[in-house]
A and B are shown apart, each in its own frame.
Chain A
Amino acid sequence: MVEVDQLCKRYGDTLAIDSVTFQAREGEILAFLGKNAAGKTTTMRIMTGFMPPTSGTVRIGGADIRENSVQARRQIGYLPETAPLYDEMTVQSYLTFCARIREVPNREVLGRVERVMDSVNIIQRRNWIIGKLSKGLRRRVALAQALVHNPRVLILDEPTEGLDPEQIIEIRALIRNLRGDHTVILSTHILTEAQALADRIVIIDGGRIVATDTTQNLTHAVQRVQRLRVEADAPLAEVRQQLKSITGVQLVERIDTERSRFVVESARDMDLRSRVAESIVSAGWPLLELERLEPTLEDVFLSITGRRAVAAEDVV
């Protein structure tokens, strides 16, 4: 559906993106994960035909974004980094304008605008002046703009940026609903967001793609150890001693200053949960918590780029 091949963009002497190559298949959600200034927005601007690449090609549904630009742009819905809103228009007239310049047939315009206002939940603000809307509502209008002509490909640049937790949950649910009917490419610097939404993840760092795979494969690839979180209601030192004595345990790490909470590491294919539970209970202590820790994208990012990612704003 979307083929990006060997994309390069040079600003003066600096290479903003370097040989970016990836594909998005029909109906999947692809997350573009990277730190700020990793080249996400640049790539998206080139993909939508807003900016020319220095070299490389982008094909949307077979149409080249430079050779056959209008045909390619017909299939795109794009949410830029800054919401492209005309402040003096009302929500409804703005969306009507967007539908019309996206070649929605005249008699379908009204219905489409109605439906999209409903799906992003702004129908009760339809006659508001956009300039008077709050940031979250503006973001929703901007998302509605990208959806109004029912495009096959949606390109969303940081769709949840600047929203409060409740709005983020709403927008994510909306994006999840698009899977199957639309090919969605979204960019984010929040690891949990990519994990929560995407079928596949493209990790970009310093303008280069460092990994492309499904969430499971990526996490599996970097999983070298199995980790458990354990909490028992007993003195610190005794619990540590008890945990260390279990066969298979390689490392015991304290993660709380007051309570007896530990992370226990073992070999990758070893499930120590039953042994740990048994051991704690047999010592006569109440077991308060026992959980297997899945590796996070944070770990993936770390192991691939060798650097720390932006701290995840954990809201979901």
Chain B
Amino acid sequence: MRTIGTIAEREFKALVTAPLGYIVMMFFLFVSSVFFVAPLNQNVANIRYLIGNVTIWLVFLLPALTMRLLAEEKKTGTIELLMTSPVTETQVVLGKYLGVLAYYGVMLFSTMQFVLVLGWVRRSGANPFFPTYTGLLASAVTLVLLTLAALNESRPLGIAAGVAKVVTLVCVVFSLGQMGEWGPAVTGYLGLWLMGAVFLAIGLLASGLTRNQIIAWVSTAAILLLMTALIAWLTGNLPSTQPVLESNPNFGSYLSFGGAWVIYVLGQVLQALSLQTYLENFAQGVLDIRDIVLYLSLIAASLFFAVRGLATSRWA
């Protein structure tokens, strides 16, 4: 357990101390700000628009966080350090996954400002200092402290960052109260976090299969694109109702009936694999156990194969 924590901590720090982590974070904040502000201009104070549209950007941004996880270690030879230490493959994979997942958590946390602003916008008469301004300030303080704590490896700073984070979250809860209809925001964030977790797990798997980071990035992005946008587009064009056999069937109509069934089943299977569909459920405040099960099983399967991949390089 301590080993997993140590590896996760190193991974998290590597993202905070390297430019790549900041580039991804900056892009993410820029894109999500655009999708937050755009509906505000049309007098729609809602976070659903943001959650629905930011996915396609995560498809390209998150693989940039995961591409180096194992590929870089293989390239520079640091994998020899891990593999000859008393560390199991499972500990390596879980540690790296938790580290990058924590960084994604910080990325999502840095968008909490939107919720704070929304609460204020929805109830214009409310006092702007609490929770909105306090929350915004606390959120900014958290991120600065967290960065400093990681750079200086300082425990007190880390604790201070944690306190600031709790303050922010308290303010966010009050803001949600002001918003009135707070369910979709909470489940939306949960969905976004879970979906990112799936993306990261798939990215980690891809990174373990190559020593080239570019290949890891491109293949992850391609798979994710397939699982979100492409499937959504395909299922949109496939029939969503069961085919019916004509009343007076001849041979040709049997053939087309069979063909239609194949296409229908294909559409249903694809729909079941489409991450986007489930995310829309989350964004509307629908918490379906099937969605969560799909997400968790995708994560578990990806991590399992990542562990197998590492073990194969050692023992096969």
Q: Which residues of A contact B (CB under 8 A)?
A: 45, 48-52, 66, 70-71, 73-74, 76, 78, 80-89, 93, 97-98, 100-103, 106, 145
- Is B314's CB under 8 angstroms from A101's CB? no
Q: Chain B residues near A70 (CB, 8 Å)?
A: 86-88
Determine if A86 and B83 form an interchain contact, defined as CB atoms under 8 angstroms apart: no
Instruction: Assess the A100–B77 pair: CB atoms within 8 A.
Output: no
The 6 closest A-B pairs by CB, nearest first: A84-B81, A48-B84, A82-B77, A100-B6, A74-B86, A84-B78
The residue in chain A whose Cβ has the minimal distance to the Cβ of B77 is A82
Task: Tell me if A101 and B3 are in contact (CB < 8 A).
Answer: yes
List residues of chain A with CB within 8 A of the CB of B83.
Answer: 49-50
Given the interface pairs A84-B77, A88-B18, the reply to whether A73 lies near B2 with Cβ below 8 Å is no
Whose C-beta in chain A lies nearest to the C-beta of B88?
A: A70
Is B14 part of the binding interface, using a Cβ–Cβ cutoff of 8 Å?
A: yes
Contact A86 B85 (CB under 8 A): no
Q: How far is the CB of A301 from chain B (nearest CB, A)?
A: 29
Question: Which B residue sits closest to A49, measured CB to CB?
Answer: B84
Size bin of chain B's contact surface: 20 to 34
Partner among B86, B153, B314 whose Cβ is within 8 Å of the Cβ of A102: B86
8 CB < 8 A contacts A-B = A66-B315, A73-B84, A80-B84, A82-B76, A86-B10, A89-B17, A106-B2, A145-B81
Which residues does chain A contribute within 8 Å of B13, judged by CB atoms? 89, 93
CB distance from B69 to the nearest CB of A (A): 13
Q: Which residues of B contact A83 (CB under 8 A)?
A: 77
Beta-carbon nearest neighbor of A100 in chain B:
B6
Q: Which residue of A lies closest to B80 (CB)?
A: A80
**Chain A residue nearest in CB terms to B5:** A100
Answer yes or no: B316 CB below 8 A from chain A CBs: yes
Secondary structure class of chain B's binding surface, majority of residues: helix
CA distance A98 to B76 in the complex (A): 16
Q: A84-B78, A100-B2 are in contact. Are A51 and B86 (CB under 8 A)?
A: no
Asked if B7 and A101 sit within 8 Å, CB to CB, the answer is yes
- Among residues of B, the one whose C-beta sits closest to the C-beta of A106 is B2
Given contacts A88-B14, A106-B2, 20 further A-B contacts (CB under 8 A): A49-B84, A49-B314, A70-B86, A70-B87, A78-B80, A80-B77, A82-B76, A82-B80, A84-B78, A84-B79, A86-B78, A89-B10, A97-B6, A100-B2, A100-B6, A101-B3, A101-B7, A101-B87, A102-B85, A102-B86
Chain B contacts to A: CB under 8 angstroms: 2-3, 6-7, 10, 13-14, 17-18, 76-88, 153, 314-316
Q: Tell me how far the C-beta of A101 lies from the nearest C-beta in chain B, rounded to whole angstroms.
A: 5
Chain A contacts for B84, CB-based, 8 A: 48-50, 73, 76, 78, 80
Complex CA gap A314/B153 in Å reads 44
Q: Are B6 and A101 in contact (CB under 8 A)?
A: yes
Among residues of B, the one whose C-beta sits closest to the C-beta of A99 is B6
Distance in angstroms from B145 CB to nearest chain A CB is 19
Q: How far is the CA of A74 from the CA of B77 in the complex (A)?
A: 20
A100→B13 CA distance, assembly (Å) = 15
Contact B153 A103 (CB under 8 A): no
Among residues of B, the one whose C-beta sits closest to the C-beta of A81 is B77
Cβ-closest chain A residue relative to B17: A88
Known A-B contacts A51-B314, A52-B315, A66-B315; the reply to A98 vs B81 at CB < 8 A is: yes
Query: CB distance B3 to A100 under 8 Å?
Result: yes
- B78 partner residues in chain A, CB cutoff 8 A: 84-86
